[in-house]
Every structure is written in structure tokens, then in C-alpha cells.
Amino acid sequence: MAAAITHDADLSGLSTFKLPARARELVELTAPDQLAALPASELPLLVLGGGSNTIFLDDWPGRILLNRLTGLQIQRLDEEHSLVHAGAGESWHRLVMNCIARGLHGLENLAMIPGSVGAAPIQNIGAYGVELSDVLDSVRAWDWQQSRTVRLSAADCRLSYRDSRFKSTDRDRFLILSISLRLSHCFAPNTGYDSLADALAKRHLERPNPRQLAATVMRLRRHRLPDPARLANAGSFFKNPVLPAETASALLDDFPRLPHWPMPDGQVKLAAGWMIERLGFRGYRIGDAGVYNNHALVLVNHGQATADQLLELIEHIQAAVGDEYDVELEPEPMLIGRKLMSQ
Ligand code: EPU
């Protein structure tokens, strides 16, 4: 069946931040072979999954491909591992819970991350000490440059902290069709992240089973992060800045309580939420664009926020953090439309 096409489509319900915006053309893709059969178009193209990491600052003058490709297959590799192949349009959280139910491990800490499976490699999703890069085997994608399907190994995807080639150098080149994860039949919980370890200890679950671990992660997320169905948001709004060890160490001399994590490459990641909260931003708002009450790294839309209000808020926070800590904050979600002053 050909892909359904809507003209002058309303996008506000397709992005969890819910700014008002429209697209010239919206194409709902439910099978890979619909790609080759799409009517040719010179319009700019954008792929959208669950919309939890894409914010429309303006109307989109081109075509949007809504990635709704489904499917789940499990391939046993050996006694210890299986490959899970999941369609890009599947819900990420449903995939996590499905894998736990089948005794496939490695995704427990990534429970309840909003969005679709196809978005996971784009920004190398991560939470509570685990990142997609820990389990990703490969990605199947449609390559617009070569007009064919390609397989990219995890290394080919060039994943780093909340980044990949899909988000940077090859932003418009690939449409992710499915991803393959290498999961383990043995459960080896990763409980090193401070707030997760504390939450487990409080519940006397120092050695949790997979369901207990995922449930604890979900409890933490519910407590700290707003449910996009109730309060529009796009998760963490800024990346945690990563600085060379010497710069970080000088900053930590001035702010010894600033939470930080060493990175594998020797640099140091700093908690932007702490920096923003310390400047008094929790609950701050410009019109309906605001900083979440329970977590300063999350920006929210209280209902009728406009792109101008959001941009003013972003730039205000960036300027305040720059003045106080001499640190540049980079937005985490993809902001579509006009450029930020700082970009
Ligand atoms: N903090 C504050 N005040 C705040 C917010 C945080 O002091 O208002 C402190 C916390 O107490 C903690 C530290 O900052 O000591 C880190 O906070 P948290 O554990 O909530 O994590 P985060 O660094 O703010 C990152 C990810 C989240 C992920 C959590 C847990 C990024 C940009 N965000 O947030 O991912 O869930 O760690 O692993 O790396 C997302 O990417 O959208 C996302 C939600």
C-alpha cells in the first residue's frame, strides 16, 4: 500500500514539546518499500519518529516522513547473546519491556525513555550509566545519497555522548529502518549511577532482578522528569558540558559541589542541571516557556508557549551560565527552523 500523504499538516501533536507548527507535506511511512514508490519531490526532507527530541520553531516548508516502520525479530547468537532486530517506528520503552520479558538483558536502565527505536542511535540515548552504544550492534538505513538500503555497524554510526553521524555530519543522508541490539541472556545489573544506587538502597534492592531495576529507573524518571502527556517537554534540554580535565578542575575548585563524571577519553562531564538550578532558574518562565520545577535541565511548555518565548528562555539561560561558569550550553533536542543566536 502506498504511504499516506497529508498536505498542510498540523505538527503540534507530533512533537512532545508541542509548539504550534505546520508542514507542507506529511508522509506516513509504514513499509520500507513505500520509499522507492514515493512521488518525487524537490522539497526539503525531514524524518520524524516519536517527536520527543525534535522541536519545531517554525513551519516546515517541505516534506516530513513519519517513520512508523514496525517489526521485532530475535536471533540467538550463542549461549550468552541474542541479536534483537527492531523496526525504527517501534516504541523504545515497549521494546525495553519486551526484552526484559523475554530474558534479554542490557536495556533495563533505559526504561521509559520517550520516543521511537529509530531515534535511539541518532542521539545515542542514555540514562543511569548506560548508553545505546553499550548494546548497539548495527543499524539498517535507507541511504538517500545512494538510493539503497545499507547496513552500518555500531562503529560506522560514530556514536558519542548524545551524538552520532546521523545528528552531525550526515544529518540528511540516512533514514533509519531498523536497529539491531546485542543483548545478553545473563543479567549483570549496572547500578553504579549515584541516584540509581541510592534509590535501590532505599528499597533494599542492592541486588535487583531485571524487573526491579527497570521499575526503580521508571520511578526515578517519574519523580524527576515530567510526563510529556501531561506537561509538554523534550527531556533534558541541554547537553551536560564536557570539558578538558584542566578546565573542569579549575571550575570545580570554585564550585566543589558541582556533580561531575570522568569520561573515557579523560575529559570531565559536568551537571548542567546543577549549574542552572544554582542560578535560581527552577520554575522560571518566559510566557508559557519555562524551566521545570523539579529539574532545571528540563524546559517545558506550560500550554501556549511560542518559539520566540522558548528562544528567549534558551538564550537567557545560556548567557547566565556563560557569565557565571564560563561554560557554553548546547541544546540537546534538534531545533528545526530559525537558528539560535549562539549557533
Ligand atoms: N541536579 C541538580 N539540580 C537540578 C537537576 C540536577 O542539582 O535541577 C543534579 C542532580 O542532583 C545530580 C546531577 O545534577 O547530582 C545530575 O542530574 P540527573 O541525574 O537528573 O541527570 P542529568 O545529568 O540532569 C542526564 C541525562 C538524562 C538522564 C539522566 C540520568 C543528559 C543531557 N541528560 O541528565 O537524559 O535521564 O542523566 O542518567 O545527559 C535526556 O537526554 O533527555 C535525558 C532525560
Residue-level pLDDT at 37: 87
Count up the domains in the chain and report the number: 3
DSSP 132: G
Which of these ranges, 36-40, 194-198, 199-203, 233-237, has the smallest mean pLDDT?
36-40
What is the CA(271)–ligand 1 centre distance, in A? 7
Same-domain pairing of 76 and 178: yes
Same-domain pairing of 247 and 276: yes
Residues 6+ apart with CB under 8 A from 170: none
Q: Domain for residue 193, yes or no?
A: no
Same-domain pairing of 49 and 99: no
Asked whether 259 lines ligand 1 (CB < 6 A), one says yes
Residue 34: which CATH number? 3.30.43.10
Kindly list the distances between the CA atom of residue 36 and the CA atoms of 47, 65, 152, 197, 245, in Å, as whole numbers in the listed order: 15, 13, 20, 49, 49
Domain that holds residue 277: 232-336
Residue finishing a domain among 154, 169, 184: 184
Asked whether 127 lines ligand 1 (CB < 6 A), one says yes
Q: What is the pLDDT of residues 123-132, one digit of tens each?
A: 999 999 999 9
Same-domain pairing of 105 and 170: yes
Q: Is 133 a catalytic residue?
A: no
**How many residues does this entry show for the chain?**
343
Residue finishing a domain among 67, 85, 112: 67
Same-domain pairing of 38 and 81: no
Same-domain pairing of 56 and 139: no
From atom 24 of ligand 1, which residue's Cα is the shortest distance away?
273
Q: Domain for residue 215, yes or no?
A: no
Q: Is 224 a catalytic residue?
A: no
Same-domain pairing of 55 and 106: no
Closest CA to 267 of 290, 230, 286, 241: 241
Asked whether 275 lines ligand 1 (CB < 6 A), one says no
Asked whether 115 lines ligand 1 (CB < 6 A), one says no
Residue 273: which CATH number? 3.90.78.10
Mean pLDDT on 102-123: 97
Q: Domain for residue 190, yes or no?
A: no
Asked whether 297 lines ligand 1 (CB < 6 A), one says yes
Q: Is 80 a catalytic residue?
A: no
From atom 28 of ligand 1, which residue's Cα is the shortest distance away?
127
What is the CA(259)–ligand 1 centre distance, in A? 10
Residues 6+ apart with CB under 8 A from 77: 83, 182
Mean pLDDT on 83-101: 98
Global pTM?
0.95
- Mean residue pLDDT of the chain comes to 96
Residue finishing a domain among 184, 219, 253: 184
Same-domain pairing of 16 and 57: yes
N-to-C CA span, the chain: 41
